[in-house]
Structure 1
Amino acid sequence: MTRKLFVNIPVSNLDASVEFFTGLGFTFNPQFTDENATCMLVGEDAYFMLLVKDYFQSFTPKPMGDAKVNDHALYAITADTREEVDELVDKALASGATSIREPMDQGFMYQRSFLDLDGHHWEVFFMDMSQMPAAES
């Protein structure tokens, strides 16, 4: 069975979020877009549903947390090169994102992080499996 991944996150301003993520190079499926939500393509079978807060709250009886105060998840996405990591994160920062920490370089993996307009924590990384240390037996 092939599964698709849909991650639902609340946003304060849907139009601003679409503009922000479009600027980072993401595309959206118009079939799943209206005034309450949009479907952002992240990978072949991976999507982020950006939902206005009231609509998001209609899916759960639990109170919605504030991503600017607490981390509920870290959203990690890959890039094809170290340069692409820098390009994507630099675009995010130029578009209003906030840097959360210094880049991490472990030789085989390079990673940078940012908080989006609503405070959601994104990790962008490149991993060169040929440089990964061998597992110890």
Structure 2
Amino acid sequence: MTRTLFISLPVRDLAASTAFYQAIGFTPNPALSNAEGAAMVWNEAVQVMLVTLAKWRTFTQRPLPPAGSAGLMLSLSLDSRAAVNAMNEAAAAHGGQADVNPMEDLGFMLTRDFADPDGHLWAALWMDRQAGG
């Protein structure tokens, strides 16, 4: 079995979050989805599990971070600078927030950070692997 990373994220509106993640390039996995959660596939090794707040409470009783705070940022590598820009634009157009941090363009690497509708932080990045990335 391929080692897979499952990232569980609590969400307020499962339908809206599912649509958001589809818009930025994830694919739904109906076999692992139900009324309490939606499995969203990035690739064969990474899946995001969007779970309702009620379902999240079955995982942990620890408090959710306050709105506007950040405990982590997840990064997704993309194939081109254009794909980074397109993901950032899709995030903004589907209920997220684009460019939550200043864009970083080092020539050989481009990073643009965005937040999903619940404030979970993501970085879309592209690196020219031949230039040392």
Offset at residue 20 of structure 1 (A): 1.3
Match of 1:105 in 2: 105
Matched, 1:84 2:86: no
The residue that corresponds to 1:46 in the other structure is 46
Letter in 2 for 1:101: N
Task: Give how far 1:101 is off.
Answer: 2.0
1:75 Cα offset (Å): 1.1
The unaligned stretches of length 5 or more in structure 1 are none
Report how many aligned residue pairs link the two structures.
132
TM score, norm. by length of structure 1: 0.89
Contact kept, 8 Å, 1:17 with 1:117, in 2: the verdict is yes
CA contact (8 A) 1:6 1:46 kept: yes
Q: Which moved more, 1:97-106 or 1:48-57?
A: 97-106
Deviation of 1:64 after TM superposition, in Å, equals 2.5
Unaligned 5+ runs, structure 2 = none
Larger mean CA deviation between 9-18 and 25-34 belongs to 25-34
Q: Structure 2 length normalisation: TM-score?
A: 0.92
- Equivalent-residue separation in structure 1 for 2:2 and 2:83 (angstroms): 28
**Residue 57 of structure 1 contacts residue 63 of structure 1 at CA under 8 Å; is this kept in 2?**
no
Give me the CA root mean square deviation: 1.5
Q: Which of these two proteins has the greater Rg computed from alpha carbons?
A: 1
Q: Structure 2 CA distance, aligned partners of 1:124 and 1:93? A: 13
Question: Aligned pair 1:130/2:120, yes or no?
Answer: no
Task: Using the TM superposition, name which of 13-22 and 99-108 deviates more.
Answer: 99-108
Alpha-carbon deviation of 1:43?
1.7
Post-superposition shift, 1:102? Answer: 2.3
